[in-house]
Amino acid sequence: MIVVVGLIVAFVLVLIFANRETRDCRWREDRTGDRDGQKKFRCMACGAEAFTTTGKPPLDCRAKTKDRR
């Protein structure tokens, strides 16, 4: 029974952390570009830049979003 619960938990964790939208992006805070209460983040993988008001990195890759349009 414990093994089954462990497998279910492991499966759920894989689903959560296997998000394809953010897998390739590595967001880093760029404090020199902060403005009006917004934090600037730059992706080290694709070079995309984004601003957030929460102070946390973006949840999606901005460069991939631009390519889809």
Strand order in the sheet with 27-29: 27-29, 39-43, 49-52
Q: How do residues 4-61 score in pLDDT, each as one tens digit?
A: 999 999 988 887 776 655 556 788 998 888 888 899 999 887 888 889 999 888 887 7
Long-range contacts of 61-69 (CB under 8 A, 24+ apart): 61/21, 61/22, 61/24, 61/25, 63/25, 64/21, 64/24
What is the pLDDT at residue 61? 73
What is the pLDDT at residue 22? 52
What is the pLDDT at residue 41? 92
Give domain limits for the chain.
22-69
Instruction: Give residues with Cβ within 8 angstroms of 38, minimum separation 6.
Output: 51, 52, 53
Per-residue pLDDT at 68 exceeds 50: no
